[in-house]
Amino acid sequence: MNIKTLGALKASEYKSQSIKDELRNNLIQKIKNKETTFEGVHGYENTVIPELERAILSRHNINLLGLRGQAKTRLARLMLNLLDEYIPYVEGSEINDDPLQPISRFAIELIKEKGDDTPIAWLHRSERFAEKLATPDVTVADIIGDVDPIKAANLKLSYADDRVIHYGMIPRANRCIFVINELPDLQARIQVALFNILQEGDIQIRGFKLRLPLDIQFLFTANPEDYTNRGSIVTPLKDRIGSQILTHYPINIETARQITQQEAKLVESQKSTVTVPDLARDLLEQIVFEARDSEYIDAKSGVSARLSITALENLLSTAERRALIAGDEKTTVRLSDFVGVIPSITGKVELVYEGEQEGAALVAFNLIGEAVKTLFVEYFPEIEKLKKQDEDGEYDDIVSWFFNQKEGFELLDDAKDKDYQNLLNVISPLDDLLGKHQPNLAVEDSYFVKEFVLWALVEFKQLSKHRFTEGLQFKDPYGGFISGI
């Protein structure tokens, strides 16, 4: 950093290395030191990250292929941590010329003129990352370069002079990591313009054939859906990308919870005001797993991890708003609060035709029910649809309690915590069930679990549930009919 001239750089015994060698050497050091290579990425420890590390060791350009919300861009940005903190470049160079291996006309002529007095500047690793989202309006001039008539006029140069060239994003990213997101969306003719840069290292601009051996680590991201819906990666370009790595969604709830907790942007006052039971966090993630398996949702489009992140934010906001209306200083998430996460679901799933017929809101509401049904058997005995006539079931007392209620049982969305708890305490068979199967449950979590049991009984057709403007009503599905007779 204290070195300001080419002569001082030579005296320091600094050795140039390509960015791919730089990444490789720093990765080797991290692996030897047992350091985490990609901090904050969960669920890829035994799948994606080893493949990514192998690609870096192989000095490959990389394509990350996966559905939306699979941390592709995050992985690309984390590669910055494998770069040296600072590298020297010729001061004033548009393309970060290496002082010991200059490639631009500007740097070569400057060094020829000033020799060891050539001024040197230092580039921090944070400035060595360039990113471009592939959109249909991207041109060759944007990413490669073009002739600049204003520069030609100001410098009084003819168009035959290569100094009239204005470099695009890729030459300006020399000695940097360059990421093109959603590569299939890049027009085929623009993809063709990348061929020589990837393989031979030269660029062609408006008739100028410049032999610029650019030193770039390319990293592309792509969505398999794009291959069919919007575009594709042309075959010769795929052939020039060294490694294609498949990303994936979390494979279990524990990993999904870890990601959601890390990424959700929660206000400190929300954290102190709203308690979220573990079962509620698991249920939130299970909704996403149910969405990925739902027949109403397009699996090819994927269900982003952002769904559970925004759903957690909405869940806490729903409970917070309820507490503010009721005047409660603190509150615990209720299962009925999950109605507040529906807007997080409807905007993040692509419905198939049958799903469109059902309606996005209904599909989202049903996903909550499916998640309840899936998790229920991990906490309580399975609800049998058919049993012998003289055999008592675990849930008979609860169902009988509802059978004897003429008006049904209502849980209001904005009820005060005390009123909500008193309502659930009235259903005494619920206390017996929790005491038998969840004896160590914390008191503040027990009310969520009680409501969880009611929702599960609905899903297993033991009770019925009706959504009305102010809340939910639970009834015995046959009691009302029989009393009417």
Identify whether residues 326 and 453 lie together within a single domain: no
Identify whether residues 235 and 280 lie together within a single domain: no
In a domain? residue 382: no
**Residue after which a domain boundary falls, among 246, 273, 290:** 246
Q: What is the CATH number of the domain that holds 203?
A: 3.40.50.300
Residue 208 one-letter amino acid? F
Question: What dihedral do alpha carbons 220, 221, 223, 226 form, nearest 10°?
Answer: -40
- Contact at 8 Å (CB) between 81 and 127? no
Per the structure, the count of domains in the chain is 3
Identify whether residues 143 and 26 lie together within a single domain: yes
112-118 contact pairs (CB < 8 A, 24+): 114/6, 115/6, 115/7, 116/5, 116/6, 116/7, 116/10, 117/5, 117/6, 117/7, 118/5, 118/6, 118/90, 118/91
- Contact at 8 Å (CB) between 231 and 186? yes
Identify whether residues 242 and 264 lie together within a single domain: no
**Residue after which a domain boundary falls, among 180, 215, 246:** 246
Identify whether residues 239 and 269 lie together within a single domain: no
Q: What is the CATH number of the domain that holds 298?
A: 1.10.8.80
**pLDDT, position 208:** 66
In a domain? residue 391: no
Identify whether residues 235 and 354 lie together within a single domain: no
What is the tens place of the pLDDT at every residue in 108-150? 999 999 999 999 999 999 999 999 998 888 888 888 877 777 7
Alpha-helical runs (H) found in 90-225? 105-114, 140-143, 149-155, 169-172, 188-192, 195-199
| pLDDT above 80: residue 155 | no
Cα 184 from Cα 187, distance rounded (Å):
8
Identify whether residues 108 and 159 lie together within a single domain: yes
- Contact at 8 Å (CB) between 335 and 451? yes
How big is the CA angle at 124 (ends 17 and 114), to the nearest 5 degrees? Answer: 65
Identify whether residues 190 and 46 lie together within a single domain: yes
**pLDDT, position 228:** 52
Q: What are residue 222's phi and psi, to 5 degrees?
A: -150, 150
Identify whether residues 218 and 140 lie together within a single domain: yes
Q: How many CA atoms lie within 13 A of 50 on its CB side?
A: 4
**pLDDT, position 407:** 77
Cα 230 from Cα 172, distance rounded (Å):
29
State the pLDDT confidence band at 379, using cuts at 50, 70 and 90.
very high
Cα 23 from Cα 25, distance rounded (Å):
6
Cα 134 from Cα 233, distance rounded (Å):
12
Strand partners, 180: 132, 220
Element (H, E) at 409: strand 409-412
Cα 403 from Cα 407, distance rounded (Å):
10
Identify whether residues 40 and 130 lie together within a single domain: yes
Q: Output the six-digit token pair for 11.
A: 């005296």
In a domain? residue 413: yes
In a domain? residue 384: no
Cα 104 from Cα 210, distance rounded (Å):
9
What angle do the packed helices 278-293 and 360-376 form, to 10 degrees?
Answer: 120
Q: Residue 149, class by beta-carbon neighbours within 10 Å (0-12 exposed, 13-18 middle, 19+ buried)?
A: exposed
Q: Which of 54-63, 298-307, 359-368, 416-425 has the lowest mean pLDDT?
A: 298-307
Cα 360 from Cα 355, distance rounded (Å):
7
- Contact at 8 Å (CB) between 345 and 365? no
Owning domain of residue 142: 6-246
Q: Nearest-CA neighbor of 109 among 161, 151, 160, 158? A: 161
Q: Average pLDDT of 359-380?
A: 94
What is the tens place of the pLDDT at every residue in 208-250? 666 778 899 999 999 887 555 556 888 888 888 999 999 999 9
Cα 190 from Cα 179, distance rounded (Å):
15
Cα 140 from Cα 456, distance rounded (Å):
57
Contacts of 334 (CB under 8 A, 6+ apart): 319, 322, 411, 420, 447, 448, 451
**pLDDT, position 345:** 94
List C-alpha distances in Å: 153 to 106, 148, 163, 164, 405: 18, 9, 11, 9, 89
Q: Average pLDDT of 347-360?
A: 91
In a domain? residue 389: no
Q: In whole angstroms, how large is the CA radius of gyration of the chain?
A: 31
For the entire predicted model, the pTM comes to 0.86
Identify whether residues 49 and 71 lie together within a single domain: yes
What is the tens place of the pLDDT at every residue in 278-328? 999 999 999 999 999 999 999 888 899 999 999 999 999 999 999 999 999
- Contact at 8 Å (CB) between 76 and 221? yes
% pLDDT > 90, the chain: 65
Q: How many CA atoms lie within 13 A of 313 on its CB side?
A: 14
State the pLDDT confidence band at 384, using cuts at 50, 70 and 90.
confident
Identify whether residues 341 and 449 lie together within a single domain: no
Candidate ranges 34-43, 189-198, 406-415; pick with highest mean pLDDT:
34-43
Q: Nearest-CA neighbor of 344 among 293, 368, 309, 296? A: 309
| pLDDT above 90: residue 61 | yes
**pLDDT, position 176:** 95
- DSSP states of 279-322 as a string? HHHHHHHHHHHHHHH-TTB-TTT---THHHHHHHHHHHHHHHHH
- Contact at 8 Å (CB) between 123 and 87? yes
Q: Output the six-digit token pair for 222.
A: 């792509």
Element (H, E) at 467: strand 464-468
